[in-house]
């Protein structure tokens, strides 16, 4: 066969088999057919625009001045919120109550959600500043705020989460999940957008941290790498389908520190001011002020004291 000849891949049969897989045997498409999907590239650009509007001197244009900064923020927000409204419109189509809604109705609803989201940005920025200050206070290696904003994966992940959580509460869970998964890919920190996280939250190092959908975290909480706030079990219907939305992740009260590798599972409460040691496996609640460490380590320490 010459290089110029068209190769015989047997495409006709392959295409037919793929259609049968899509439409009959292994269907994943929505019952109402092909739909516009939210664009990952667009969401990346939206988050970049929102970061630039929230922290323009760090993520925005390099030549901003006191005279130009407000104009830059306004222009950036206008273009970013327009992009966001379009992606919200696409995501809303996947909600059960929007299946049969008209495009005009979805477009109007998307604009209203995007506008309300825009109004929440000052509050989101305030939470992020508290997270940045917690990182600066909690890490002796931190030299200045700029280093934290540009280099700390925990702050990067929390920027995505604060934005995603707002969209989740506004009824756009698919787009919210998109935003947090982008941060997950970049940092190794996996936070479900439904998780409720208080102010001054600091994830040190961060790689491998997992925070589940129904987790509730108080103020001034610090986590280290590879901490899991997960579910212990999953309730199912009679047909074996998992029940969605049950509260199944931990509640972590204010001023708690959880060290590297700790795993806390189920709807348990970690009392205010507690310290959970590294590599602890915990499936029960602990009262305020607790200090939880591995049993073997505690026994060795007691043995040393009596030697």
9-63 pLDDT tens trace:
889 999 999 988 888 777 666 655 556 889 999 999 999 999 999 999 999 998 9
* Cα–Cα dist 240/235, whole Å: 9
10 Å Cβ neighbour count for 176? 24
Closest CA to 181 of 171, 192, 165: 192
Higher-confidence residue of 87 and 26: namely: 87
Q: Cβ neighbours of residue 32 under 8 Å, at least 6 residues apart?
A: 99
pLDDT of residue 1: 46
pLDDT of residue 23: 80
Average pLDDT of the residues in 163-184:
97
**Token pair of 132, please?**
């940045």
Q: Cβ neighbours of residue 8 under 8 Å, at least 6 residues apart?
A: none
pLDDT of residue 29: 61
pLDDT of residue 32: 56
Average pLDDT of the residues in 153-160:
98
Burial of 71 (0-12, 13-18, 19+ CB in 10 A): exposed
CATH superfamily for domain 208-307: Hexapeptide repeat proteins (2.160.10.10)
Fold: same for 34-188 and 208-307: no
DSSP 22: I
Closest CA to 91 of 117, 123, 73: 117
Average pLDDT of the residues in 91-105:
87
Q: Is the pLDDT at 254 greater than 90, yes or no?
A: yes
pLDDT of residue 4: 59
pLDDT of residue 28: 67
β-pair partners for 258: 223, 276
Supply the mean pLDDT for the chain.
90
pLDDT of residue 121: 97
Fold of 34-188: 1.10.3130
Identify the helix (H) or strand (E) that includes residue 223: strand 222-223
Average pLDDT of the residues in 154-161:
98
Report CA-CA distances (Å) from 307 to 164, 197, 217, 220, 304: 54, 45, 41, 39, 5
pLDDT of residue 107: 96
Reported as a pLDDT band with limits 50, 70 and 90, residue 297 is very low
Interval 186-241: pLDDT, tens: 999 999 999 999 999 999 999 999 999 999 999 999 999 999 999 997 777 767 67
- Cα 245 → chain centroid: 17
The residue ranges of every structural domain in the chain are 34-188, 208-307
Q: Is the pLDDT at 303 greater than 70, yes or no?
A: no
Q: Is the dihedral of CA 139, 142, 148, 154 positive or negative?
A: negative
């Amino acid at each position: 066969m010459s290089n110029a000849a068209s190769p015989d891949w047997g495409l006709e049969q392959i295409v037919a088999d793929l259609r049968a897989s899509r439409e009959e045997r292994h269907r994943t498409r929505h019952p109402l057919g092909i739909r516009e999907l939210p664009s990952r590239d667009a969401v990346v650009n939206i988050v970049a625009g929102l970061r630039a509007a929230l922290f323009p001197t760090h993520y925005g244009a390099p030549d901003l001045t006191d005279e130009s900064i407000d104009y830059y923020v306004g222009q950036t927000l206008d273009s970013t919120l327009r992009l966001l409204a379009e992606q919200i419109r696409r995501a809303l189509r996947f909600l059960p109550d929007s299946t049969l809604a008209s495009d005009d109705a979805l477009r109007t609803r998307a604009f209203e959600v995007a506008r309300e989201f825009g109004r929440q940005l000052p509050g989101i920025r305030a939470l992020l500043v508290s997270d940045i200050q917690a990182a600066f206070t909690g890490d002796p290696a931190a030299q200045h705020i700029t280093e934290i904003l540009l280099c700390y994966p925990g702050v990067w992940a929390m920027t995505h989460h604060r934005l995603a959580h707002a969209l989740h509460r506004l009824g756009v869970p698919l787009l919210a999940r998109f935003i947090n998964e982008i941060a997950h890919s970049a940092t190794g920190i996996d936070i479900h957008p439904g998780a409720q996280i208080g102010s001054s939250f600091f994830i040190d190092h961060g790689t491998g941290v997992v925070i589940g959908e129904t987790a509730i975290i108080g103020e001034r909480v610090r986590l280290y790498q590879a901490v899991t706030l997960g579910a212990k079990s999953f309730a199912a219907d009679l047909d074996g389908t998992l029940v969605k939305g049950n509260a199944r992740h931990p509640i972590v009260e204010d001023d708690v520190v959880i060290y590297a590798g700790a795993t806390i599972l189920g709807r348990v409460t970690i009392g205010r001011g507690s310290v959970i040691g590294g590599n602890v496996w915990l499936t029960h609640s602990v009262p305020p002020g607790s200090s939880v460490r591995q049993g073997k380590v505690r026994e060795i320490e007691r043995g040393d004291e009596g030697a």
